[in-house]
Chain A
Amino acid sequence: GHKYHLELELEDVLDKDSTVNCTAEVLYHLGNKNIAPDVQFTLEGELKNTDEADNVFYSRIKSLEKELVAENIPDNYGNVSPEMEPIHLLAWVASGYVIWQNSTENTKFQLAQIKHVKQVKRSDEYLEFDYKILLHEMLTQEIIPWQMTVLWHPQHGVEVTQNSRQPKQASE
């Protein structure tokens, strides 16, 4: 396959002055394009501790009387309300996994928008969200609808348990 050695600077989206250096090796497999690239990485430094904000968000969602439902994040003006910011950030992280799983040397994906998100009730301590997102792929310029089921817990992190590409809307 094709192996790339990368030196990156990671920047905290919420605090632009907070950066961490990172080295990574990415191996794109020859032949079968349906296998995600191998990624190995080393962080040179520590990521910020986010326990407090995580727990605030977690408690807030746990205490909701009805399961959370929301649409169009960012909205059609490009805005994200403060209450939806953690839902947005969670989608960014989870879509990163989906993007990684679907990346080749000829793709460049961005999360474009959350079209719809609904919380799924669970009996354990995890939070579960069913997202319908739009991914923008730069080379084909396609806006691709995608479904992903995301689990999250402050101590256990993020897991995408299910994801699938959706058929393109007929609206265009």
Chain B
Amino acid sequence: MVTLNDIQNRVSVLYDHAFAQRQLKIYQWMTQIQKSNSELVTQHYLGKTTENRTMYYLQISQPSDKIKKIIWMDCGIHAREWISPAFCQWFVKELLRMQRSKIKESLHHIITRKNRSPHMNGTCYGTDLNRNFNSSWGSIGVSDNCSSEIFCGSGPESEPETRAVAQFIKKKKSDILCYLTIHSYGQYILTPYGSTTRPPSNNEELMHVAEMAAAALMGKYGTSYKVGPTSLILYSNSGSSRDWAHMIGIPFSYTFELRDKGTHGFVLPPDQIQPTCEETMLAVTTIIDYVDQKYFPGGAVMLTASSLGLSLCLSVVLTWTVS
């Protein structure tokens, strides 16, 4: 069993001490959440990072003998987009109807985007995990040079972190209805694909739901999000987890790029955490509501914008990548 001490000992000296503390805090928080909500939350092993640190996911579901469908959400695949893991923590708290407490600030330098995998005899580090999935890997919007921030790795799923996520999702694929990956910044809800402008088979429906989600988000504080395929409204990229999730058959696959639009960028000030999380929550629950109604019509819709509960038929899987 991996202890917190083991994790601490393995943190690379290149990391800022405060960043390492934040990673530990997330693990500690996950354990605490699971302990205090053990009837709804289970913590599971997902895999290991390049540096052999353990990755966990939380499964949140009501006990039931019914077969469950799955909503997957990941946050923090790019470590410097720190508002993303903050949102996941917020989301979990809301989902569990926990007492609202301000997510504590911690020090955020503009830190890394990539993981810590060594290349070129340890002279260069880091693969962009969101270019490493097996979705037209290496074809566009990437670099084959390790020193680039969008280095796609030595091959599709070359990174242990990518493999851990991909294996889990492949295993549960027939039950996963929705794949959400949370990033920052830019204020977008992005639909497939980044690697081609060819629209996905369910493009109309994907866009319709995303537009509803963006409208719900905007209703809270007036924050405006753009909606559309990555390749059309942002840039071309290949090997993204969202493209891969859709390509293997998960119908509702979205990338969220949270606040802001560049004024603060990766270093969003603490007074924007709460409003960002509240408005994003509305967007996410709009999507989950739609998926719930589509696949379980006539059932009691438990997830609404203003109050959260868990559907008997949906469970939420969340993971944080803190490599």
Interface bits A128-162 vs B (CB < 8 Å: 1, else 0): 00000010101111110000000000000000000
Say if the beta carbon of A79 comes within 8 Å of chain B. Answer: yes
Residues of B within 8 A of A168 (CB): 147
Say if the beta carbon of A163 comes within 8 Å of chain B. Answer: no
Residue of B nearest to A72 (CB): B109
Interface bits B89-128 vs A (CB < 8 Å: 1, else 0): 0000000000000000101111011100000000001101
Interface size class of A (residues with CB under 8 A): 20 to 34
Central interface residue in A76, A113, A140, by most chain B CB within 10 Å: A76
Expressed in whole angstroms, the Cα–Cα distance for A84 and B105 within the complex equals: 22
Say if the beta carbon of B267 comes within 8 Å of chain A. Answer: yes
Residues of B within 8 A of A113 (CB): 110, 267
| A134 with B264, Cβ < 8 A, contacts A78-B269, A140-B148 known | no
Say if the beta carbon of A26 comes within 8 Å of chain B. Answer: no
Residues of B within 8 A of A138 (CB): 186, 234-235
Say if the beta carbon of A46 comes within 8 Å of chain B. Answer: no
A112–B108 CB distance below 8 A: no
B267–A76 CB distance below 8 A: yes
Among B112, B141, B263, B270, the residue within 8 A (CB) of A139 is: B141
A77–B107 CB distance below 8 A: yes
Residue of A nearest to B125 (CB): A172
Residues of A within 8 A of B1 (CB): none
Interface bits A101-123 vs B (CB < 8 Å: 1, else 0): 00000001011110000000000
A77–B270 CB distance below 8 A: yes
Say if the beta carbon of A59 comes within 8 Å of chain B. Answer: no
Central interface residue in B114, B128, B235, by most chain A CB within 10 Å: B235
Expressed in whole angstroms, the Cα–Cα distance for A165 and B175 within the complex equals: 49
Interface secondary structure of A, over-half rule: loop
Residue count of chain B within 8 Å CB distance of chain A: 31
Among B108, B148, B186, B263, the residue within 8 A (CB) of A76 is: B108
Expressed in whole angstroms, the Cα–Cα distance for A168 and B186 within the complex equals: 24
Residue of A nearest to B269 (CB): A78
Interface bits A44-80 vs B (CB < 8 Å: 1, else 0): 0000000000000000000000000000001011110
Say if the beta carbon of A171 comes within 8 Å of chain B. Answer: yes
B148–A74 CB distance below 8 A: no
Say if the beta carbon of B312 comes within 8 Å of chain A. Answer: no
Residues of A within 8 A of B186 (CB): 138
Cβ distance A88 to chain B, nearest Cβ, rounded Å: 10
Cβ distance A70 to chain B, nearest Cβ, rounded Å: 16
Cβ distance B10 to chain A, nearest Cβ, rounded Å: 18
Interface bits B223-237 vs A (CB < 8 Å: 1, else 0): 000000000001100
Expressed in whole angstroms, the Cα–Cα distance for A141 and B109 within the complex equals: 16
Say if the beta carbon of B266 comes within 8 Å of chain A. Answer: yes
Residues of A within 8 A of B110 (CB): 112-113, 134, 143
Residues of B within 8 A of A108 (CB): 235
A141–B113 CB distance below 8 A: yes
Expressed in whole angstroms, the Cα–Cα distance for A113 and B268 within the complex equals: 12
Expressed in whole angstroms, the Cα–Cα distance for A111 and B110 within the complex equals: 12
Residues of B within 8 A of A141 (CB): 113, 128, 149-150
Expressed in whole angstroms, the Cα–Cα distance for A74 and B269 within the complex equals: 9
A172–B141 CB distance below 8 A: no
Expressed in whole angstroms, the Cα–Cα distance for A108 and B109 within the complex equals: 21
Among A78, A142, A143, the residue within 8 A (CB) of B270 is: A78
A172–B268 CB distance below 8 A: no
| A171 with B149, Cβ < 8 A, contacts A77-B107, A112-B266, A141-B113 known | no
Say if the beta carbon of B143 comes within 8 Å of chain A. Answer: yes
Residues of B within 8 A of A140 (CB): 143, 148-150
Residues of A within 8 A of B14 (CB): 171-172
Expressed in whole angstroms, the Cα–Cα distance for A111 and B186 within the complex equals: 14
B266–A76 CB distance below 8 A: no
Q: List 12 A-B contacts (CB under 8 A).
A: A13-B263, A78-B264, A110-B262, A112-B265, A112-B266, A136-B266, A138-B186, A139-B141, A140-B149, A141-B113, A171-B14, A172-B125
